[in-house]
Amino acid sequence: MARHGKTYNAVKKKVSVEKQYSLEEAVQFVKNNPTAKFDETLEVALRMGVDPTKSDQAIRSTVALPHGTGKDVRVIVFASGAAAEAARTAGAVEAGFEDLLAKVTGGWMDFDIVISTPDAMKEVRKLGKVLGPRGLMPNPKTGTVTDDTATAVKQFKAGRVEFRMDKNGNIMVPFGKRSFSAQALMENFHAVYEAVLAAKPASSKGIYIKRCTVSSTMGPGLHIGLKEAAAV
Protein backbone atom coordinates (compact mmCIF):
# COMPACT_ATOMS: atom_id res chain seq x y z
CA MET A 1 0.00 0.00 0.00
CA ALA A 2 1.44 3.37 -1.04
CA ARG A 3 2.32 5.83 1.67
CA HIS A 4 1.82 9.54 1.26
CA GLY A 5 3.98 12.31 2.66
CA LYS A 6 3.17 14.84 5.35
CA THR A 7 2.14 17.51 2.85
CA TYR A 8 -0.37 15.24 1.12
CA ASN A 9 -1.83 14.05 4.43
CA ALA A 10 -2.14 17.62 5.69
CA VAL A 11 -4.01 18.67 2.55
CA LYS A 12 -6.21 15.57 2.52
CA LYS A 13 -7.43 16.38 6.05
CA LYS A 14 -8.97 19.55 4.61
CA VAL A 15 -11.00 17.58 2.04
CA SER A 16 -14.48 16.35 2.95
CA VAL A 17 -15.14 12.94 1.39
CA GLU A 18 -18.89 13.49 1.79
CA LYS A 19 -19.09 16.91 0.19
CA GLN A 20 -19.75 17.59 -3.46
CA TYR A 21 -17.67 20.63 -4.33
CA SER A 22 -18.47 23.23 -6.94
CA LEU A 23 -15.91 23.42 -9.73
CA GLU A 24 -14.80 26.86 -8.55
CA GLU A 25 -14.31 25.56 -5.00
CA ALA A 26 -12.27 22.59 -6.21
CA VAL A 27 -10.04 24.69 -8.48
CA GLN A 28 -9.40 27.28 -5.78
CA PHE A 29 -8.66 24.54 -3.25
CA VAL A 30 -6.02 22.97 -5.51
CA LYS A 31 -4.48 26.36 -6.28
CA ASN A 32 -4.33 27.27 -2.57
CA ASN A 33 -3.05 23.88 -1.38
CA PRO A 34 0.01 22.77 -3.36
CA THR A 35 1.26 19.25 -2.66
CA ALA A 36 4.48 19.45 -4.68
CA LYS A 37 7.27 21.93 -5.34
CA PHE A 38 6.70 21.82 -9.11
CA ASP A 39 3.82 23.27 -11.12
CA GLU A 40 1.31 20.45 -10.77
CA THR A 41 -1.11 19.41 -13.50
CA LEU A 42 -4.82 19.41 -12.72
CA GLU A 43 -6.73 16.36 -13.90
CA VAL A 44 -10.39 15.42 -14.11
CA ALA A 45 -11.35 11.79 -13.53
CA LEU A 46 -14.75 10.61 -14.73
CA ARG A 47 -16.40 7.36 -13.71
CA MET A 48 -18.52 6.35 -16.68
CA GLY A 49 -21.82 4.49 -16.64
CA VAL A 50 -21.18 2.51 -19.82
CA ASP A 51 -19.96 -1.06 -20.17
CA PRO A 52 -16.22 -0.97 -20.96
CA THR A 53 -16.33 -4.60 -22.17
CA LYS A 54 -18.59 -3.71 -25.11
CA SER A 55 -16.86 -2.32 -28.17
CA ASP A 56 -19.90 -0.30 -29.22
CA GLN A 57 -19.71 1.61 -25.93
CA ALA A 58 -16.04 2.56 -26.21
CA ILE A 59 -15.32 6.24 -25.64
CA ARG A 60 -12.38 7.87 -27.40
CA SER A 61 -11.99 11.35 -28.81
CA THR A 62 -10.01 14.58 -28.51
CA VAL A 63 -10.65 18.05 -27.13
CA ALA A 64 -8.98 21.38 -27.84
CA LEU A 65 -8.28 23.09 -24.52
CA PRO A 66 -8.88 26.84 -24.98
CA HIS A 67 -5.89 27.68 -22.77
CA GLY A 68 -3.66 24.74 -23.68
CA THR A 69 -2.11 22.19 -21.34
CA GLY A 70 0.78 24.25 -20.05
CA LYS A 71 3.32 21.70 -21.21
CA ASP A 72 5.51 21.23 -24.26
CA VAL A 73 3.82 18.41 -26.16
CA ARG A 74 6.27 16.16 -28.00
CA VAL A 75 4.75 14.94 -31.27
CA ILE A 76 6.18 12.37 -33.67
CA VAL A 77 4.82 11.65 -37.14
CA PHE A 78 5.07 8.54 -39.29
CA ALA A 79 5.09 9.88 -42.83
CA SER A 80 7.22 10.13 -45.95
CA GLY A 81 8.21 12.90 -48.32
CA ALA A 82 6.34 16.21 -48.18
CA ALA A 83 4.08 15.07 -45.32
CA ALA A 84 7.11 14.34 -43.14
CA GLU A 85 8.74 17.66 -44.01
CA ALA A 86 5.52 19.55 -43.25
CA ALA A 87 5.30 17.82 -39.88
CA ARG A 88 8.87 18.82 -38.98
CA THR A 89 8.20 22.40 -40.00
CA ALA A 90 5.06 22.44 -37.83
CA GLY A 91 7.07 21.38 -34.77
CA ALA A 92 7.21 17.58 -34.69
CA VAL A 93 10.23 16.33 -32.72
CA GLU A 94 10.63 13.48 -35.20
CA ALA A 95 9.03 12.77 -38.58
CA GLY A 96 9.88 9.92 -40.91
CA PHE A 97 9.04 6.36 -41.78
CA GLU A 98 11.46 3.43 -41.79
CA ASP A 99 14.09 5.07 -39.59
CA LEU A 100 11.44 6.23 -37.10
CA LEU A 101 9.80 2.80 -37.04
CA ALA A 102 13.18 1.25 -36.20
CA LYS A 103 13.85 3.86 -33.52
CA VAL A 104 10.54 3.24 -31.71
CA THR A 105 10.87 -0.53 -32.13
CA GLY A 106 14.26 -0.19 -30.45
CA GLY A 107 12.69 1.28 -27.35
CA TRP A 108 12.73 5.06 -27.89
CA MET A 109 9.62 6.57 -26.24
CA ASP A 110 10.40 10.25 -25.69
CA PHE A 111 7.10 11.53 -27.11
CA ASP A 112 3.52 12.27 -26.06
CA ILE A 113 1.51 12.07 -29.29
CA VAL A 114 1.85 9.83 -32.36
CA ILE A 115 0.45 10.89 -35.72
CA SER A 116 0.52 8.85 -38.91
CA THR A 117 -0.51 9.29 -42.51
CA PRO A 118 -3.06 6.67 -43.66
CA ASP A 119 -0.60 4.95 -46.00
CA ALA A 120 1.94 4.51 -43.18
CA MET A 121 -0.54 2.82 -40.85
CA LYS A 122 0.03 -0.66 -42.27
CA GLU A 123 3.52 -0.64 -40.75
CA VAL A 124 2.64 1.52 -37.70
CA ARG A 125 0.04 -1.06 -36.62
CA LYS A 126 2.93 -3.48 -36.09
CA LEU A 127 3.94 -1.27 -33.15
CA GLY A 128 0.67 -2.13 -31.40
CA LYS A 129 2.35 -3.89 -28.49
CA VAL A 130 4.53 -0.85 -27.89
CA LEU A 131 2.10 2.01 -28.53
CA GLY A 132 -1.19 0.35 -27.60
CA PRO A 133 -0.68 -0.08 -23.82
CA ARG A 134 0.39 3.57 -23.59
CA GLY A 135 -2.66 4.82 -25.48
CA LEU A 136 -0.47 6.17 -28.28
CA MET A 137 -1.69 4.20 -31.30
CA PRO A 138 -2.89 6.63 -34.03
CA ASN A 139 -6.63 6.54 -34.66
CA PRO A 140 -8.82 8.33 -37.24
CA LYS A 141 -11.38 9.14 -34.50
CA THR A 142 -8.87 11.29 -32.68
CA GLY A 143 -7.41 13.03 -35.71
CA THR A 144 -4.07 11.26 -35.38
CA VAL A 145 -4.39 9.44 -38.72
CA THR A 146 -4.36 12.13 -41.37
CA ASP A 147 -2.62 13.34 -44.52
CA ASP A 148 -2.65 16.91 -43.14
CA THR A 149 0.24 16.29 -40.77
CA ALA A 150 1.11 19.97 -40.28
CA THR A 151 -2.35 20.92 -39.01
CA ALA A 152 -2.49 17.90 -36.71
CA VAL A 153 0.92 18.66 -35.20
CA LYS A 154 -0.01 22.32 -34.62
CA GLN A 155 -3.32 21.38 -32.97
CA PHE A 156 -1.80 18.93 -30.52
CA LYS A 157 1.06 21.24 -29.64
CA ALA A 158 -1.44 24.08 -29.09
CA GLY A 159 -3.47 22.13 -26.55
CA ARG A 160 -5.53 19.41 -28.20
CA VAL A 161 -5.56 16.36 -25.93
CA GLU A 162 -6.79 12.85 -26.52
CA PHE A 163 -8.96 10.97 -24.04
CA ARG A 164 -10.20 7.42 -23.88
CA MET A 165 -12.06 5.21 -21.44
CA ASP A 166 -9.91 2.55 -19.78
CA LYS A 167 -10.86 -1.07 -19.13
CA ASN A 168 -12.35 -0.13 -15.76
CA GLY A 169 -14.73 2.47 -17.18
CA ASN A 170 -12.75 5.57 -16.20
CA ILE A 171 -11.63 8.58 -18.21
CA MET A 172 -8.79 10.78 -16.94
CA VAL A 173 -7.90 14.02 -18.70
CA PRO A 174 -5.38 16.76 -17.78
CA PHE A 175 -6.81 20.28 -18.08
CA GLY A 176 -4.04 22.69 -17.15
CA LYS A 177 -1.42 23.68 -14.61
CA ARG A 178 -1.88 24.95 -11.05
CA SER A 179 -0.22 28.21 -12.16
CA PHE A 180 -3.10 28.87 -14.60
CA SER A 181 -5.75 31.36 -13.53
CA ALA A 182 -8.86 29.85 -11.98
CA GLN A 183 -10.90 31.10 -14.93
CA ALA A 184 -8.60 29.44 -17.46
CA LEU A 185 -8.73 26.14 -15.57
CA MET A 186 -12.52 26.26 -15.37
CA GLU A 187 -12.84 26.98 -19.08
CA ASN A 188 -10.49 24.11 -19.91
CA PHE A 189 -12.47 21.81 -17.58
CA HIS A 190 -15.76 22.65 -19.27
CA ALA A 191 -14.22 22.01 -22.70
CA VAL A 192 -13.23 18.52 -21.51
CA TYR A 193 -16.60 17.79 -19.93
CA GLU A 194 -18.52 18.90 -23.02
CA ALA A 195 -16.26 16.80 -25.26
CA VAL A 196 -16.91 13.71 -23.15
CA LEU A 197 -20.66 14.36 -23.31
CA ALA A 198 -20.41 14.75 -27.09
CA ALA A 199 -18.57 11.41 -27.33
CA LYS A 200 -21.47 9.50 -25.74
CA PRO A 201 -21.99 6.19 -27.60
CA ALA A 202 -25.37 5.78 -29.27
CA SER A 203 -25.81 2.44 -27.45
CA SER A 204 -25.27 4.01 -24.00
CA LYS A 205 -28.30 3.71 -21.72
CA GLY A 206 -28.98 5.01 -18.23
CA ILE A 207 -26.55 7.23 -16.34
CA TYR A 208 -23.67 8.24 -18.61
CA ILE A 209 -21.36 9.93 -16.09
CA LYS A 210 -21.53 8.56 -12.55
CA ARG A 211 -18.84 10.56 -10.79
CA CYS A 212 -16.51 13.48 -11.41
CA THR A 213 -13.33 14.12 -9.42
CA VAL A 214 -10.71 16.87 -9.72
CA SER A 215 -7.19 16.52 -8.35
CA SER A 216 -3.64 17.74 -8.85
CA THR A 217 -0.66 15.57 -9.76
CA MET A 218 0.23 14.76 -6.16
CA GLY A 219 -2.98 15.83 -4.40
CA PRO A 220 -6.18 14.22 -3.12
CA GLY A 221 -9.35 14.16 -5.20
CA LEU A 222 -12.34 16.43 -4.69
CA HIS A 223 -15.73 15.19 -5.85
CA ILE A 224 -17.61 17.61 -8.11
CA GLY A 225 -21.39 17.74 -8.26
CA LEU A 226 -22.44 16.55 -11.71
CA LYS A 227 -24.92 19.42 -12.21
CA GLU A 228 -22.14 21.84 -11.34
CA ALA A 229 -19.72 20.09 -13.68
CA ALA A 230 -22.14 20.39 -16.59
CA ALA A 231 -22.85 24.08 -15.97
CA VAL A 232 -20.99 26.51 -18.21
Q: What is the pLDDT of residue 40?
A: 94
Determine the Cα angle at 8 with ends 6 and 12, to 5°. 115
In 66-206, where does DSSP find H-type helix? 81-90, 98-105, 121-124, 128-131, 149-158, 182-198
Domain boundary assignment for the chain? 9-68+161-230, 75-158
The one-digit pLDDT tens for each residue of the chain (232 residues) are 456 788 899 999 999 988 999 999 999 999 999 999 999 999 999 999 999 999 999 999 999 999 999 988 999 999 999 999 999 999 999 999 999 999 999 999 999 999 999 999 999 999 999 999 888 999 998 899 999 999 999 999 998 998 999 999 999 999 999 999 999 999 999 999 999 999 999 998 899 999 999 999 889 999 999 887 776 5
Determine the Cα angle at 104 with ends 98 and 108, to 5°. 140
Select the CATH number that applies to the domain covering 9-68+161-230 from these four: 3.90.79.10, 3.40.50.170, 3.40.50.261, 3.30.190.20: 3.30.190.20
Asked whether 167 and 132 are in contact (CB, 8 A), the reply is: no
Looking at CATH, the fold of the domain delimited by 75-158 is given as Rossmann fold (3.40.50)
Exposed e or buried b for every residue in 132-166, given b needs 16+ CB within 10 A? Answer: eeeebbbbeebbbbbebbbebbbbbbebbbbbbbe
Q: What is the pLDDT of residue 1?
A: 41
Separation between Cα atoms, residue 15 and residue 36, nearest integer Å: 17
Q: What is the pLDDT of residue 47?
A: 97
Q: What is the pLDDT of residue 105?
A: 95
Alpha carbon 208 to its chain's center: 19
